[in-house]
Protein backbone atom coordinates (compact mmCIF):
# COMPACT_ATOMS: atom_id res chain seq x y z
CA UNK A 1 0.00 0.00 0.00
CA UNK A 2 0.87 3.70 0.12
CA UNK A 3 2.26 3.52 3.66
CA UNK A 4 4.66 0.73 2.72
CA UNK A 5 5.83 2.64 -0.33
CA UNK A 6 6.49 5.70 1.80
CA UNK A 7 8.52 3.67 4.30
CA UNK A 8 10.76 2.61 1.44
CA UNK A 9 11.65 6.27 1.07
CA UNK A 10 9.57 6.82 -2.03
CA UNK A 11 7.80 10.16 -1.99
CA UNK A 12 4.33 11.08 -3.08
CA UNK A 13 3.85 12.89 -6.35
CA UNK A 14 1.04 15.07 -7.66
CA UNK A 15 0.72 15.75 -11.38
CA UNK A 16 -1.96 17.29 -13.60
CA UNK A 17 -2.69 15.78 -16.99
CA UNK A 18 -4.59 16.45 -20.19
CA UNK A 19 -5.08 13.81 -22.88
CA UNK A 20 -5.72 14.74 -26.52
CA UNK A 21 -7.19 12.68 -29.35
CA UNK A 22 -10.38 10.64 -29.56
CA UNK A 23 -10.85 10.38 -25.81
CA UNK A 24 -14.50 11.34 -25.26
CA UNK A 25 -17.41 8.95 -25.75
CA UNK A 26 -15.04 5.95 -25.50
CA UNK A 27 -15.32 5.26 -21.75
CA UNK A 28 -11.93 6.91 -21.23
CA UNK A 29 -12.83 8.28 -17.80
CA UNK A 30 -14.15 4.92 -16.58
CA UNK A 31 -11.01 3.09 -17.71
CA UNK A 32 -8.75 5.78 -16.25
CA UNK A 33 -10.52 5.45 -12.92
CA UNK A 34 -10.17 1.67 -13.04
CA UNK A 35 -6.47 1.83 -13.82
CA UNK A 36 -5.83 4.46 -11.12
CA UNK A 37 -7.63 2.34 -8.53
CA UNK A 38 -5.69 -0.75 -9.60
CA UNK A 39 -2.47 1.20 -9.02
CA UNK A 40 -3.70 2.60 -5.70
CA UNK A 41 -3.70 6.22 -6.90
CA UNK A 42 -6.07 9.04 -6.02
CA UNK A 43 -7.21 12.09 -7.97
CA UNK A 44 -9.84 12.78 -10.57
CA UNK A 45 -10.68 12.75 -14.29
CA UNK A 46 -13.16 14.76 -16.34
CA UNK A 47 -14.09 15.63 -19.91
CA UNK A 48 -13.39 19.18 -21.04
CA UNK A 49 -15.52 21.35 -23.31
CA UNK A 50 -12.83 21.20 -26.01
CA UNK A 51 -12.80 17.43 -26.49
CA UNK A 52 -9.95 16.42 -24.20
CA UNK A 53 -9.82 14.60 -20.87
CA UNK A 54 -8.06 16.20 -17.93
CA UNK A 55 -7.42 15.54 -14.28
CA UNK A 56 -4.93 15.06 -11.50
CA UNK A 57 -3.06 12.01 -10.20
CA UNK A 58 -1.53 11.62 -6.74
CA UNK A 59 0.31 8.72 -5.17
CA UNK A 60 3.70 7.02 -4.89
CA UNK A 61 6.03 8.28 -7.62
CA UNK A 62 6.53 4.92 -9.39
CA UNK A 63 2.77 4.31 -9.56
CA UNK A 64 2.11 7.82 -10.88
CA UNK A 65 4.70 7.16 -13.61
CA UNK A 66 2.86 3.95 -14.54
CA UNK A 67 -0.43 5.78 -14.97
CA UNK A 68 1.30 8.53 -16.97
CA UNK A 69 2.56 5.84 -19.37
CA UNK A 70 -0.93 4.34 -19.53
CA UNK A 71 -2.46 7.77 -20.32
CA UNK A 72 0.18 8.37 -22.98
CA UNK A 73 0.01 5.02 -24.76
CA UNK A 74 -2.96 2.86 -23.82
CA UNK A 75 -6.17 4.48 -22.61
CA UNK A 76 -9.53 2.83 -23.15
CA UNK A 77 -9.91 0.20 -25.92
CA UNK A 78 -11.75 2.53 -28.34
CA UNK A 79 -9.69 5.63 -27.64
CA UNK A 80 -7.11 7.10 -30.01
CA UNK A 81 -4.57 9.10 -28.03
CA UNK A 82 -2.63 11.71 -29.95
CA UNK A 83 -0.74 13.03 -26.94
CA UNK A 84 -0.81 13.48 -23.18
CA UNK A 85 0.48 16.64 -21.51
CA UNK A 86 1.60 16.67 -17.89
CA UNK A 87 2.04 19.79 -15.76
CA UNK A 88 2.31 21.11 -12.19
CA UNK A 89 4.34 18.10 -11.11
CA UNK A 90 5.30 18.39 -7.45
CA UNK A 91 6.19 16.31 -4.43
CA UNK A 92 3.51 16.29 -1.75
CA UNK A 93 3.60 15.17 1.88
CA UNK A 94 0.01 13.88 2.00
CA UNK A 95 -2.66 12.85 -0.50
CA UNK A 96 -5.22 15.58 -1.15
CA UNK A 97 -7.96 13.23 -2.40
CA UNK A 98 -9.62 10.24 -0.74
CA UNK A 99 -10.10 8.23 -3.91
CA UNK A 100 -10.10 8.56 -7.69
CA UNK A 101 -13.27 10.23 -8.90
CA UNK A 102 -14.92 10.86 -12.25
CA UNK A 103 -16.05 14.48 -12.29
CA UNK A 104 -18.83 15.70 -14.54
Catalytic residue among 29, 80, 83, 88: 29
Q: Is the pLDDT of residue 5 over 80?
A: no
Please indicate, yes or no, if residue 40 is contained in any of the structural domains.
Answer: yes
Please indicate, yes or no, if residue 89 is contained in any of the structural domains.
Answer: yes
**Residue 24 sits in which domain range?**
17-102
State the maximum Cα–Cα separation within the chain, in Å, rounded to a whole number. 41
Please indicate, yes or no, if residue 10 is contained in any of the structural domains.
Answer: no
Tell me, what DSSP letter sits at residue 9? T
Q: Where are the alpha helices (DSSP H) in the chain?
A: 2-7, 28-39, 61-73
Catalytic residue among 38, 47, 65, 88: 47
Count the domains in the chain: 1
pTM of the model: 0.89
pLDDT for position 10: 72
CATH number (domain holding residue 87): 3.30.70.100
Kindly state the average pLDDT of the residues 11-19: 97
What number of CA atoms fall less than 13 Å from residue 102's CA on the CB side? 11
Please indicate, yes or no, if residue 32 is contained in any of the structural domains.
Answer: yes
Which of these, 20, 18, 17, 31, lies nearest to 78 by C-alpha position? 31
pLDDT for position 81: 98
Q: Is residue 47 among the annotated active site residues?
A: yes
pLDDT tens sequence across 55-101: 999 999 999 999 999 999 999 999 999 999 999 999 999 999 999 99
Please indicate, yes or no, if residue 3 is contained in any of the structural domains.
Answer: no
Q: Is residue 29 among the annotated active site residues?
A: yes
Amino acid sequence: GVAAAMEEGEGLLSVDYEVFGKVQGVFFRKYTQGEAKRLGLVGWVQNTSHGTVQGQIQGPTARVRELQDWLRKIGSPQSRISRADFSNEKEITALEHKDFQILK
